[in-house]
Amino acid sequence: MPSSPTDLHAAPSKFIFANQLRGIAALLVVATHYFGTSFAAQDLVGERTASPNLHFVPSAWVHLFELPYQGPFGVALFFLISGFVIPFSLKKTSLPGFLVNRAMRILPTYLCCLGIGAVDVALSARYWGLPFPYPPEVLLANGLLMNSVLGVPSMDLVNWTLSIEIKFYLVAALGATALFRRSPGWLLGFLAAALLAAWSWSRAAAPSTVVTMLAAELNYVIFMLAGSVFYQHVSGLISGRALLARTLLIVAAFSASWAIGPQHGQFPSITVFYYAAYACFGLCYALRGRFKPQRALDFLADVSYPLYCVHPLFGYCALKLLMHLGLPFGGAIVITLPCAIALAYAIHLSVETGSNALGRRWGAALSRRKTPAALAA
């Protein structure tokens, strides 16, 4: 996901926990897709990778690495971490600078990963003798992360989270000064408006596809605010008691919105994993002073965003090809997973690091003397 170690550079000794959680979350999502989705959704994977459904049957051991909580739990951690780090960026820049900075963190790396995925699918289509499934308008909509708004299918099945990230950035930018105030009025107002929106959707006779999509995404924006309240506590704006009360209120509003909104059929079977992520993040936050640098976790954190973006199409294509050539899944995953990580590392070095640095420079150049934090003082 778009948050990166540089977002936490101001106090790494205190916030290393969030960085390391990013690495763990990325690995959980990858495991879900490689060990779970590649078998459980073979028709869908075939559609996305221009390949036939070969009806692979996983060995019993595969299920040890495909637990039902991994995907939602990992995504929920990503959302909390983003909510936590975004106020740091807002505090240091003007609103135009913030938006440019975030755009440079998301788009160049994602475009690179999607381009690699498109090449993988083209090679897959050629291997299987099938047409390339993505016309230019689908490629463009996915590359600009506008596919959900335009009703265009996601190519990689992960960019829906990036679309939500963008919406959270816009909400944070519009309400920037509120994030730096002690008063809970802004939070109560936003939660009330969000619940009203969810209720309105539930009462609508025939809501449009776009309205339904926005109502579903609002659930996650609510949840991300919990991370921002942790920021308020660590910055000294609120007490520990206020932190607990406000985050529990957010989780309650998130639950209510989900229960009556477009995803009500998944309540509470999916939301329970978001509760677990909230508890995990809160525990790690409470113990944040005990986290120390760990080479493997820190490396995974560094490559977590490109790994998240590049692993689906590359991995699905590679796993299917290798198994079709006769390798068992165990051998295929031993080749595919390290290659996905190596590819993510190459993207991190060649694209992500440079685009992040450029975004910081452009953001600083656009920043006014007074940032949102100063305006709220």
Convert the pLDDT of each residue in 83-141 to its tens digit.
999 999 898 889 999 999 999 999 999 999 999 999 999 999 999 999 999 999 999 99
Distance CA 349, CA 229 (A): 32
Q: Provide the percentage of residues in the chain whose pLDDT is more than 90.
A: 85
Grouping H, G, I as helix, E, B as strand and the rest as coil, residue 371 is coil
Distances (CA, A) of 289 to 5, 15, 265, 283: 17, 8, 40, 12
Q: Around Cβ 31, how many Cβ atoms within 10 Å?
A: 18
**Quick one: pLDDT at residue 11?**
39
Grouping H, G, I as helix, E, B as strand and the rest as coil, residue 201 is helix
Mean pLDDT for the stretch of residues 279-300: 95
**What token pair was written down for 11?**
């106090």
> pLDDT grade, residue 12 (50/70/90)?
very low
Q: What confidence tens digit (pLDDT) does each residue in 181-228 have?
A: 999 999 999 999 999 999 999 999 889 888 999 999 999 999 999 999
pTM of the model: 0.93
Helices (H), ranges, the chain: 12-31, 38-40, 42-49, 70-92, 95-128, 136-143, 147-150, 159-174, 185-203, 209-234, 240-260, 271-286, 295-302, 304-324, 329-347, 353-366, 372-376
Q: What confidence tens digit (pLDDT) does each residue in 254-269 have?
A: 999 999 999 999 999 9
Residues whose CB falls within 8 Å of the CB of residue 369, separated by 6 or more in sequence, listed in order = none
Mean pLDDT for the stretch of residues 13-33: 91
Asked if 193 contacts 213 with a C-beta cutoff of 8 angstroms, the reply is no
Would residue 326 be called left, alpha or beta, if left means φ above 0 and alpha means ψ between -120 and 50 degrees? Answer: left
Asked if 225 contacts 190 with a C-beta cutoff of 8 angstroms, the reply is yes
The residue among 93, 88, 83 whose CA lies nearest residue 361 is 93
282-317 exposure pattern, b = at least 16 Cβ within 10 A, e = fewer: bebbeebeebeeeeebeebbbbbbbbbbbbbbbbbb
**What token pair was written down for 309?**
């973006």
What sign does the CA torsion over 171, 177, 180, 183 have? negative
User: For residue 156, is pLDDT > 70?
Assistant: yes
**Quick one: pLDDT at residue 17?**
95
Distance CA 315, CA 54 (A): 16
Distance CA 67, CA 28 (A): 9
Distance CA 280, CA 276 (A): 6
- Choice among 1-5, 159-163, 352-356, 357-361 with the minimum mean pLDDT: 1-5
Distances (CA, A) of 311 to 7, 59, 159, 376: 23, 22, 12, 41
